[in-house]
Structure 1
Amino acid sequence: MRRRIVILLLIIVSFILQSTVFQSLSIGSIAPNLLLILTVSFGFMRGKKTGLWTGFVCGLMIDMFYGNLLGFYALVYMTAGYITGFCYKIYYDEDIKVPMILIAICDIGYNIMVYCLQFLLRGRLDFFYYLRRIMIPEMVYTILITLVFYRILYKINHKLVELEMKERDSTWLRK
């Protein structure tokens, strides 16, 4: 229960930071995607189920406040969280290289899905302009923010795991 509350608070804080502080720090109208970092990080650190639900809540927040179509971003973020959850048991979460690669791949995938379903279907066919002006700069900016943000998320997750282990081994809770 504690984990769910902490993840929900992290989602709210990340959404507020992404919507306010990082919008004012945008470079050429490109801002980092903190909610994608959060979704991919928890999918990578906790597995498919946590990544799926974290992605759903993150996407639903964007859909409710900024989206034209309810559920579009929820589906995109859920997919990213679920796919990165496959790496949960394969790689160690202390190493930052794998999460950075996963976040870069998910950010490009996220932008391609947004392009295909929101721009391409409206007849805007200049994919390489979108790739050069939006996709690659956002990916680079998101990766740079990942260097700091992932460390914070890792420490929070590590602390939650320690607390869960202490609760599990507590003599008061034994039957």
Structure 2
Amino acid sequence: MKRFLVYLSEILILFVIQTSTFHYFGLADIMPNLLLILVVSSAYMRGRMTGLGIGFFTGLLVDIVYGELIGLYAFIYMILGYFIGFTNKIYSNDDYTLPIVFVAVSDFVFGFYNYIFDFLLRGRLNLLFYFRRIILPEMIYTVAISVLLYKLLHTINNRLERKMNEEE
């Protein structure tokens, strides 16, 4: 129950920060995807089912507030969380580079997915323009923020693990 409440509060706090505060820190109208960092970090540290669950609820929250169709963001966050969760088998407490790489790859996949459903299906075929103007800058900005945010999420996860082990 504690873990669920921690995940719920992380989702809500990062959602509020991403949708309100980072509008002021946007570079060329690009903002980092904090919720993607949360999904990838949780999946990497806790596994497939945690990544799937956090991805689904995070995406559902984005769909409810901003989505034109319910389920598009829930699906992509859920799929990314599930597949990054497979990397939990190589999880190391000391490694900070691997999750940053996973965030970069996931952000690229997320951006490409958005291109397909937001632009390609509407007849806008200029992938190179979308890649240069949206996918690449967002990926760089998200990776830069993930260096700091992953350390915080990692610390929260370790403290929660210690408390759970002490209670047993």
Query: For this structure pair, what is the TM-score category when the shorter chain's length is used for normalisation?
Result: over 0.9
Residue of structure 2 equivalent to 1:77: 77
1:146 aligns with 2:153: no
Is 1:11 equivalent to 2:11 in the alignment? yes
Distance across 1 between alignment mates of 2:90 and 2:28: 37
Q: Are 1:32 and 1:145, in contact at CA under 8 Å, matched by a contact in 2?
A: yes
Distance in 2 (CA, whole Å) between partners of 1:78 and 1:163 is 27
User: Are residues 1:105 and 2:105 paired?
Assistant: yes
Query: Which residue is 2:96 aligned to?
Result: 96
Output the CA distance in 2 between the equivalents of 1:35 and 1:102.
14
Length-normalised TM-score, structure 2: 0.98
How many residues align? The count is 168
Instruction: Give the corresponding residue for 1:31.
Output: 31
Give the TM-score, by structure 1 length: 0.95
Deviation readout 1:4-42 (Å, 9 max, x if unpaired)? 000000000000000011111100000000000000000
- Structure 2: unaligned runs, 5 residues or longer: none
Other-structure match for 1:171: none
Residue identity in the other structure for 2:134: I
Where does the alignment leave 5 or more consecutive residues of structure 1 unmatched?
169-175
Question: Corresponding residue for 1:173?
Answer: none
RMSD: 0.6
